[in-house]
């Protein structure tokens, strides 16, 4: 059985207007954070029941730490944790941090996959949501990544303010030309507490209509599928064999250990979460204490997580696998709802699988709400 390691770097050069991830532009605590991550790795290395097979350093913007600090962090992590079985080692980058030194440094410590947030290839759209990079910078960074890495992923956002079908087509065309092994495409959401939400409330930007979002989602699905990508999860597309192993493991309920402020962990029986506060996190770790809160995982929660994560994938729920799970008895709670949703075409049901047809993925949340207990 595999297991995953996630490391959260809570710093960004500046805050994007739509972002509600735990991150801050104030990186003055970065040296302390690196020390705390190493301490946390040491304190928690026995929590995973299985050997670590994937690593994902995300955030925030890990690349904002700079090449030297990232190399030092990864080198020291390797001394604390057994990473000898890791097959996929991903680091998230932003275009403004990508240069030859950064990429060579990451490769030198065993990183074999990078994921970069391009989001749009139209400068006015990037500017409106507070991205720091331009389309030209993204294209240059993407070229370097393609030259130096075999496995990489780029992110795109659709439903951006002022984005039109024409401008989305343009971004997508450019993105397809890059021929990345993996792409993620997310619908922009207006989360309360973000700058974008305030801009919307003040009438400065307008949320894309449901019809526009649907049209964009179907367009992205169609264009990327035609370009040889498999739409294997609601927001993820891969060339054959290039699916993200780390993320697929989350959907397959593989145990994972999350280190850093705001990071979550689950070993199959216990959920643990670190405070979404650099201050609280550092206070605990610099005193040599774990900062995570433990929350035993109930069978109902396990069942719900299983249903939610599996139905976001192309394969859906394998009923034989579900029957063998410790929470398999809850499958009967779905029977009537599954029949109803199948009769309206919102679910596809075969002898062995239940899945949400791709054309209903954008409204998957409503379907999932009906199925969980």
Residues of the shown chain interacting with ligand SF4 in the complex, contacts defined by CB under 6 A: 12, 15-16, 19, 21, 23, 59-61, 94, 117
Quote the least distance from Cβ 129 to ligand SF4, whole Å: 9
C-beta closer to ligand SF4: residue 43 or 118: 118
List residues bridging with 93 in a β-sheet.
116
Please, which residue, 15 or 45, has the CB nearer to ligand SF4? 15
How far apart are CB 173 and ligand SF4 at their closest, in Å? 23
3-state class (DSSP) for residue 154 = strand
Cα distances (angstroms) measured from residue 50 to each of 42, 246, 254: 16, 14, 9
> Cα(189)–Cα(147) distance, rounded to whole angstroms?
33
Residue 9 beta carbon to ligand SF4: minimum distance, rounded to whole angstroms: 9
Q: Specify the residue, 21 or 170, whose C-beta has the smaller distance to ligand SF4.
A: 21
* The residue to which tokens 């070993």 are assigned: 267
Which residue, 61 or 236, has its beta carbon nearer to ligand SF4? 61
- Minimum CB distance to ligand SF4 smaller for 119 or for 236: 119
Closest distance between ligand SF4 and the C-beta of residue 330, in Å?
A: 35
Smallest gap from residue 171 Cβ to ligand SF4 (A): 17
CB of 131 to ligand SF4, least distance (A): 7
Complete DSSP assignment for 322-348? HHTSTTGGGGGGGHHHHHHHHHTTSSE
Residues 352, 355, 357, 358: is their CA dihedral positive or negative?
Answer: negative
Q: Smallest distance, Å, CB 358 to ligand SF4? A: 26
For the stretch 144-149, contacts whose Cβ atoms lie closer than 8 Å and that sit 24 or more positions apart, written own/partner, are 144/98, 144/99, 144/100, 144/103, 145/93, 145/98, 145/103, 145/114, 145/116, 146/178, 146/179, 146/180, 148/100, 148/103, 148/104, 148/107, 149/103, 149/107, 149/112, 149/113, 149/114
Is the CB of 59 or the CB of 316 nearer to ligand SF4? 59
CA dist., res. 68 & res. 199, Å (int): 37
Q: How far apart are CA 194 and CA 269, in angstroms?
A: 33
Select 142 or 311, whichever has its Cβ closest to ligand SF4: 142
**What is the distance between the alpha carbons of residues 258 and 5, in angstroms, rounded to a whole number?**
6
Nearer to ligand SF4, 23 or 244 (CB): 23
Q: Taking Cα atoms as reference points, which of 55, 48, 124, 60 lies closest to residue 97?
A: 60
Shortest distance, CB of residue 124 to ligand SF4, whole angstroms?
A: 17
């Amino acid at each position: 059985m595999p297991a995953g390691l996630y490391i959260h770097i809570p710093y960004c050069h500046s805050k994007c207007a739509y972002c509600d991830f735990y991150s801050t532009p104030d990186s003055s605590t970065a040296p302390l954070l690196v020390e705390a991550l190493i301490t946390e790795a040491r304190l928690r290395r026995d929590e995973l029941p299985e050997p670590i097979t994937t690593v994902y350093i995300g955030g925030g913007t890990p690349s904002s730490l700079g090449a030297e600090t990232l190399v030092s962090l990864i080198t020291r992590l390797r001394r604390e944790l057994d990473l000898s079985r890791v097959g996929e080692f991903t680091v998230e980058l932003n275009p403004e941090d990508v240069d030859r030194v950064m990429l060579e440094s990451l490769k030198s410590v065993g990183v074999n996959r990078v994921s970069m947030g391009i989001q749009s290839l139209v400068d006015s759209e990037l500017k409106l949501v507070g991205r720091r990079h331009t389309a030209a910078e993204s294209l240059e960074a993407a070229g370097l990544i393609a030259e130096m890495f075999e496995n990489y992923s780029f992110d795109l956002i659709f439903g951006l303010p002022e984005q039109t079908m024409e401008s989305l087509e343009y971004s997508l065309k450019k993105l397809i030309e890059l021929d990345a092994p993996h792409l993620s495409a997310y619908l922009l959401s207006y989360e309360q507490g973000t700058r974008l939400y305030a801009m919307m409330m003040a009438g400065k930007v307008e949320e894309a209509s449901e019809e526009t979002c649907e049209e964009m989602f179907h367009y992205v699905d169609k264009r990327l599928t035609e370009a040889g990508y498999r739409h294997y999860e609601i927001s993820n597309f891969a060339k054959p064999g290039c699916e993200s192993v780390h993320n697929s493991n989350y959907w397959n309920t593989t145990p994972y250990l999350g280190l850093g402020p705001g990071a979550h962990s689950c070993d199959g029986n216990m959920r643990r979460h670190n405070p979404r506060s650099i201050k609280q996190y550092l206070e605990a770790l610099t005193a040599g204490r774990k900062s995570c809160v433990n929350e035993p995982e109930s069978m109902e929660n396990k069942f719900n997580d299983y249903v939610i994560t599996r139905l976001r994938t192309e394969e859906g729920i394998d009923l034989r696998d579900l029957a063998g799970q410790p929470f398999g008895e809850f499958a009967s709670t779905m029977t009537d709802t599954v029949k109803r949703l199948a009769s309206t075409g919102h679910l596809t049901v075969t002898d062995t699988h239940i899945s949400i047809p791709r054309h209903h993925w954008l409204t998957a949340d409503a379907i999932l709400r009906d199925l969980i207990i």
